[in-house]
């Protein structure tokens, strides 16, 4: 078992964890004076739910949108796989904790990511391997909606469906913003859930910040009687939890000054639980 | 070499259950038996090379030893970033098998040729294993597996009537004391057929892998003695075998020799033809190699 910092008795406990992780991420980015804050904030609940809460020890989790590495590192810290001391090296010279997940040096990170569109193929390989080995493993792969611009995502999607990889779950962090603009203006990926569906996947949509909504969608997928792989399209907000970062392209890259950091932390500390655990 | 390759896979897979085979929809009239014998360890992943490389990395992470297979340029170039990030960053034992290295696919045209393949992959520190003749293939496959690391297996075409020693990283095929010749992969056949005309003069070596291990002292002695070196490869000069060999010789203190690098020259006339047509245009067909040997011999007399 993981040495979790907090006992999880109920799905509503995940709210306190995501809040702590959100604060931890802000702290990491502030100390590093680094960007990609908005991208990490949009997928915290997804990482907490799928990586921290749902993943068993022999499962695999790939953060294909590697630019949200700080969120992953914080979750691994919460799981007891990464120490505070290690986490504090984020962005520093000689660290394993680079801005994107590394190939080696961190337990719980199976593959280096950062160039978009690699995760789904890697995950499909892991899923196929688990099937052939007859091991009960679940493979989770978190992608962004902008990442779905990549052709390789759809090569993997077609392959996984054709090979009945129902041990594979793709989680799409649909925050509607990519590196240089709103997704609908850069490359409109509307009806994303339907696109995965016509590729042969069981799909569901949810509010990607509300743990009950995520659970309901995932339960629906798990009740499907066929062997299709699972895709859960999660509607999220880039920069979630910090009002001046929410839904802006800028906070894909910007770094926080002291005043902004202070405000951001206050807002997270005073956030409304019902946004995260409303039934 | 496709048939020999297929047979080798069948032979090895019977007792090596980690072996898994992924093709990019290539193998008609060659891999049918491989498919039958390997069962669920044979995967046709369709025409999707980027995905295939990622898949292979995932499978290797799960403990398998994957062969991925396609026409050489498709599998090397299309998924180059996947090879770099997914395979080499994690040093996973994936054997990328490219059929028709060099101008192997002849009249199929430039899209089907791979004349920059091992140069491109050597940038990623992947070892290329290149059998010269069909009979080399089984040992080349076993060698590839034995490394348990990322490998590029470059298959070509051809056989030789003469009996030569078994596949190895360095093989001396002819002995001579006037010109040293080094060659890699299946162009070694042309090199052999040209050099054998110069009995007792041409010292011919076939190299089976790049980057290679230590250069044998006998080879360095040969270059020091003949002071003439011709390198022959079906690959462009930049990033090729000849450049690499020469840099290694210099590192070994062997630098006083006349040099000719016979390499693929691309498409000088802009027209297309058989593999031999392109070899001829590049000066690596048998007659051109003979001419180069004669010219090098004349240089010595000057």
Give how far A147 is from chain B: nearest CA, Å.
Answer: 15
- Are B129 and B191 found together in one domain? no
B9 and B81 part of one domain: yes
Which ranges of B180-285 would DSSP assign to H, the alpha helix?
A: 188-195, 217-226, 241-251, 275-282
Same domain, B130 and B181: no
| Domain end residue (candidates: B111, B128, B155) | B155
Torsion B275-B280-B283-B287 (CA) sign: positive
The size of the A-B interface in CB pairs under 8 A is 97
Query: What is the average per-residue pLDDT within A237-242?
Result: 98
Verify whether the Cβ–Cβ distance B46 to A159 is below 8 Å. yes
Q: Average pLDDT over chain B, rounded to whole?
A: 96
Do B48 and B108 lie in one domain? The reply is yes
Counted domains in chain B: 2
Neighbours of A44 (CB within 10 A): 28
Cβ within 8 Å of residue A217, ≥6 positions away: A204, A205, A206, A232, A234
Residue B209's Cβ-count burial label (10 Å; 0-12, 13-18, 19+) is buried
Report if residue B161 sits inside a domain: no
The DSSP secondary-structure symbol of B302 reads -
Is residue B138 domain-shared with residue B6, that is, in the same domain? yes
Q: A223: number of CA atoms within 13 Å, CB side? A: 7
Whether residue B85 contacts residue B27, with contact meaning beta carbons closer than 8 Å, is answered with no
Closest chain B CA to residue A102: B89
User: Which sequence spans correspond to the domains of chain A?
Assistant: 23-277
Mean pLDDT computed over B153-163: 92
Answer yes or no: do B57 and A130 touch at CB < 8 A. no
Which CATH superfamily includes the segment(s) A23-277?
Answer: Thiamin diphosphate (ThDP)-binding fold, Pyr/PP domains (3.40.50.970)
Q: What is the mean pLDDT of residues A129-149?
A: 97
Instruction: Decide if A110 and B61 are in contact by the 8 Å CB cutoff.
Output: yes
Angle between helices B286-301 and B188-195 (to 10 degrees): 50
- Percent over 90 (pLDDT), chain A: 95
Domain contains B163: no
pLDDT confidence bin for A2, thresholds 50/70/90: confident
User: B92 near A106, Cβ under 8 Å?
Assistant: no
Same structural domain for residues B209 and B145? no
The verdict on a CB contact (< 8 Å) between B57 and A122 is yes
Q: Are residues B77 and B123 in the same domain?
A: yes
Interchain CB distance below 8 Å, A111 and B90: yes
Instruction: Give the strand pairing for A177-178 and A202-207.
Output: unpaired
Nearest residue on chain B to A128, judged by CA atoms? B59
Nearest to B76 by CA among B29, B121, B138: B121
Distances, alpha carbon A273 to alpha carbons A43, A268, A279, B151, in Å: 17, 10, 11, 53
Kindly give the residue spans of alpha helices, DSSP state H, lying in A138-257. Answer: 151-162, 183-186, 192-198, 211-222
B46, B50, B90 member nearest A103 (Cβ): B90
Q: What does the pLDDT read at residue B302?
A: 45
pLDDT tens per residue across span B218-262: 999 999 999 999 999 999 999 999 999 999 999 999 999 999 999
How many of the other CB atoms lie within 10 Å of CB of A120?
31
Q: Which range marks the domain in which residue B129 is found?
A: 2-155
Same structural domain, B221 and B270: yes
Residues near B205 by beta carbon (within 8 Å), at least 6 away in sequence: B170, B171, B172, B173, B180, B181, B182, B183, B219, B222
ipTM associated with this complex: 0.95
pLDDT of B299 reads 85
Q: Which of A61, A53, A62, A70 is nearest to A6 (CA)?
A: A53
pLDDT band at A6; cut points 50, 70, 90? confident
Tell me the backbone φ, ψ of residue A217, rounded to 5 degrees.
-65, -40
Distance CA B95, CA B144 (A): 7
pLDDT in tens, B54-94: 999 999 999 999 999 999 999 999 999 999 999 999 999 99
Cα A91 from chain centroid (whole Å): 20
In angstroms, the separation between the Cα of residue B48 and the nearest Cα of chain A is 6
Is residue B160 a part of any domain in this protein?
no
Could you tell me if B151 and B237 lie in one domain? no
Residue B181 counted as domain residue: yes
- With contact defined as beta carbons under 8 Å apart, do A116 and A145 qualify? no
For testing contact with chain B, the best of A64, A102, A125 (most B CBs within 10 A): A125
In a shared domain, residues B43 and B179:
no
- For residue B162, being part of any structural domain is answered with no
3-state secondary structure B227-242: CEEEEEEEEECCCCHH
The last residue of one of the domains, among B121, B155, B189, is B155
Summarize pLDDT for B180-229 with one digit per residue, the tens.
Answer: 999 999 999 999 999 999 999 999 999 999 999 899 999 999 999 999 99
- The CA distance from B22 to B53, in Å, is 9
Contact between chains at B51 and A128 (C-beta distance less than 8 A): no
pLDDT tens figures, A141-188: 999 999 999 999 999 999 999 999 999 999 999 999 999 999 999 999
How do strand A177-178 and strand A168-174 relate by DSSP bridges? unpaired
Closest by alpha carbon to B189, among B159, B169, B166, B163?
Answer: B159
Cα first-last separation, chain A: 29
Helical segments of chain A, H only: 13-32, 37-41, 44-46, 69-79, 84-87, 119-133, 151-162, 183-186, 192-198, 211-222, 258-269, 274-277
Residues B47-61: tens digit of each pLDDT? 999 999 999 999 999
The predicted-structure confidence for B104-118, as pLDDT tens digits, reads as follows: 999 999 999 999 999
B57/A125 touch (CB, cutoff 8 Å), yes or no? yes
B164 assigned to some structural domain: no
Q: Which of A111, A122, A155 sits opposite B48 (nearest CB)?
A: A155
pLDDT tens, A180-225? 999 999 999 889 999 999 999 999 999 999 999 999 999 999 999 9
Whole-prediction pTM? 0.96
- Partner-chain residue, chosen from B40, B58, B90, that has the shortest CB–CB distance to A123: B58
Whether residue B198 sits in one domain with residue B104: no
Looking at the domain assignment, is residue B165 inside a domain?
no
Residue A1 confidence class, pLDDT cut points 50, 70, 90: low
- Is residue B194 domain-shared with residue B284, that is, in the same domain? yes
A152–chain B Cβ distance below 8 A for any pair: yes
What CATH number corresponds to the domain at position B14? 3.40.50.970
Last residue of a domain, one of B155, B178, B211: B155
- Of A104, A125, A151, which is closest to B54 when you measure between CB atoms? A125
Chain B residues whose CB is inside 8 A of the A117 CB are 50
Minimum-distance CB partner of B58 among A103, A122, A155: A122
């Amino acid at each position: 078992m993981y040495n979790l910092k907090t006992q999880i008795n109920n799905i509503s406990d995940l709210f306190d964890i995501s809040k702590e992780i959100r604060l931890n991420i802000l702290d990491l980015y502030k100390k590093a004076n680094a960007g990609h804050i908005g991208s990490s904030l949009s997928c915290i609940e997804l990482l907490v739910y799928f990586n921290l809460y749902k993943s068993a020890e022999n499962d695999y989790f790939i953060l294909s949108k590697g630019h949200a590495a700080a969120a992953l590192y914080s979750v691994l810290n919460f799981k007891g796989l990464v120490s505070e001391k290690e986490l504090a090296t984020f962005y520093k010279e000689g660290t394993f904790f680079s801005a994107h997940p590394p190939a080696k040096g961190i337990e719980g990170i199976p593959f280096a990511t950062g160039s978009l569109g690699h995760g789904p193929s890697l995950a499909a390989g892991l899923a196929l391997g688990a099937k052939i080995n007859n091991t009960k493993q679940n493979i989770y792969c978190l992608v962004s909606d902008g990442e779905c611009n990549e052709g390789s995502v759809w090569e993997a999607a077609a392959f996984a469906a054709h090979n009945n990889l129902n041990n594979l779950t793709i989680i799409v962090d649909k925050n509607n913003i990519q590196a240089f603009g709103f997704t609908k203006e850069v490359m409109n990926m509307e009806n994303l859930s339907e696109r995965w569906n016509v590729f042969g996947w069981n799909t569901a949509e949810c509010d990607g910040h509300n743990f009950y909504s995520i659970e309901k969608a995932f339960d629906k997928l798990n009740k499907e009687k066929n062997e299709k792989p699972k895709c859960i399209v999660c509607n999220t907000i880039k920069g979630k939890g910090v009002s001046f970062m929410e839904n802006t392209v800028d906070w894909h890259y910007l770094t926080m000054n002291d005043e902004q950091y202070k405000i951001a932390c206050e807002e997270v500390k005073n956030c409304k639980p019902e946004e995260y655990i409303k039934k | 070499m496709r048939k020999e390759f297929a047979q080798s896979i069948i032979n090895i897979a019977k007792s090596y259950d980690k072996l898994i085979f992924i093709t990019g929809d290539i193998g008609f009239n060659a891999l049918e038996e491989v498919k039958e014998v390997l069962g669920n360890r044979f995967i046709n992943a369709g025409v999707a090379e980027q995905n295939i490389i990622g898949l292979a990395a995932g499978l290797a992470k799960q403990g398998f030893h994957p062969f991925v297979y396609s026409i050489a340029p498709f599998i090397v170039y299309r998924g180059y970033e996947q090879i770099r990030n997914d395979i080499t960053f994690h040093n996973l034992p994936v054997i990328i098998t490219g059929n028709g290295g060099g101008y192997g696919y002849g009249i199929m045209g430039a899209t089907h040729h791979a004349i920059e393949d091992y140069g491109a992959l050597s940038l990623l520190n992947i070892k290329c294993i290149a059998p010269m003749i069909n009979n080399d293939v089984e040992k080349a496959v076993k060698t590839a597996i034995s490394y348990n690391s990322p490998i590029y297996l470059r298959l070509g075409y051809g056989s030789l009537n003469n009996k030569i020693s078994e596949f190895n990283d360095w093989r001396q095929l002819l002995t001579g004391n006037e010109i040293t010749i080094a060659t890699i992969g299946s162009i070694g056949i042309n090199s052999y057929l040209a050099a054998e005309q110069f009995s007792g003069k041409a010292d011919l070596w076939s190299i089976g892998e790049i980057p290679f291990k230590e250069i044998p002292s006998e080879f360095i002695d040969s270059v020091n003695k003949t002071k003439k070196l011709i390198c022959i490869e079906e690959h462009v000069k930049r990033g090729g075998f000849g450049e690499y060999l020469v840099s290694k010789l210099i590192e070994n203190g062997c630098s006083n020799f006349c040099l000719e690098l016979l390499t693929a020259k691309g498409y000088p006339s802009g027209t297309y033809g058989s593999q031999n047509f392109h070899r001829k245009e590049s000066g690596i067909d048998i007659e051109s190699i003979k001419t180069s040997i004669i010219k090098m011999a004349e240089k010595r007399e000057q």
